[in-house]
């Protein structure tokens, strides 16, 4: 388990003075990065091995969005390894220990040159020390795509979409998908299924499926094959 203290910054807030969903996702990503760096299993370690942990799926359940200046704790724990797959929980809680949000994530270890999945070394598995998984609802990784989608605006991938591995960071897919719900729609659950890596110069052709309390956004290539599928479930404010 790894936990760090934080305070919600102005730069992370929306027009209602609350942390954005993108900001919450960034806290979770940073938390796992901090743990890996402190264990000596971080970015440099993986680069030297020619490996990368690629996110396969997210599920983030939000109780509420904390406000600017609010002090929070952010935590993570790996809870299982199966073959080349790693499983990790995240959470954010307030200063009284009440849960603000919880997440489940599934990661695949890849060889950077071939793109093929690899089994993590025993050094990695021993370093992370798996623990009992978080008490939360666990939904399937696969997201069903409804009928009757509408085409969104094409988007060309530029440098600011990329991370240290030179592919589109998983948070960028979510940020793009968040452009499509109505302004008064508050997301309480995010699910994201990542199908394939996107790189500089690739083109996203979004298809948006609207339902009563949710949106499904499929970020496709020009052949209609998805890079990622994002489901946003919530309510009107």
Task: Give the domain CATH number at 232.
Answer: 3.10.129.10
pTM above threshold 0.85: yes
Mean pLDDT, the chain, whole residue set:
95
For residues 115 and 159, state if they share a domain.
Answer: no
The reply to whether 155 and 117 lie within a common domain is: no
Structural domain total, the chain: 2
Residues 196 and 104 in one domain: no
Counting beta carbons within 10 angstroms of the beta carbon of residue 33, is it exposed (0 to 12), middle (13 to 18) or buried (19 or more)?
middle
Residue 51 lies in a domain: yes
Same domain, 115 and 221: no
Same domain, 14 and 98: yes
Answer yes or no: is pLDDT of 125 > 90: yes
The stretch 80-93 carries a mean pLDDT of 97
Q: Are residues 117 and 225 in the same domain?
A: no
pLDDT of 212 > 90? The answer is no
pLDDT on residue 52: 92
Average pLDDT over residues 170-196: 94
Structural domain contains residue 141:
no
pLDDT score at 235: 87
Which of 128, 163, 198 is the C-terminal boundary of a domain?
A: 128
> Does residue 110 lie in a domain region?
yes
Residue 174 covered by a domain: yes
Which range of residues forms the domain containing residue 176?
A: 150-236
User: 12 and 123, same structural domain?
Assistant: yes
In a domain, 136, yes or no: no
Decide if 138 is inside a domain: no
């Amino acid at each position: 388990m790894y936990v760090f203290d934080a305070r919600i910054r102005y730069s992370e807030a929306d027009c209602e003075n609350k942390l954005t969903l993108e900001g919450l996702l960034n806290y979770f990503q940073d938390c796992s990065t901090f743990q890996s760096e402190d264990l000596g299993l971080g970015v440099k370690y993986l680069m030297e091995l020619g490996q990368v942990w690629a996110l396969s799926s997210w599920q983030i359940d939000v109780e509420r969005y904390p406000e600017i200046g609010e002090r929070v704790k952010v935590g993570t724990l790996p809870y299982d390894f199966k073959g080349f797959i790693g499983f990790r929980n995240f959470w954010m809680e307030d200063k009284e220990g009440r849960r603000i949000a919880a997440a489940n994530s599934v990661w695949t270890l890849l060889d950077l040159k071939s793109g093929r999945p690899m089994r993590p070394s025993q050094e990695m598995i021993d370093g992370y020390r798996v623990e009992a998984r978080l008490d939360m609802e666990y939904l399937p990784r696969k997201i069903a795509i409804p009928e009757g989608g509408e085409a969104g605006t094409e988007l060309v991938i530029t440098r600011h979409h990329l991370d240290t591995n030179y592919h589109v960071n998983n948070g960028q897919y979510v940020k793009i998908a968040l452009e499509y719900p109505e302004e008064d729609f508050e997301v309480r659950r995010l699910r994201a299924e990542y199908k394939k890596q996107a790189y500089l110069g690739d083109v996203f052709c979004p298809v948006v499926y609207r339902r009563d309390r949710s949106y499904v956004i499929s970020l496709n290539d020009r052949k209609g094959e998805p890079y990622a599928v994002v489901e946003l479930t919530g309510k009107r404010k």
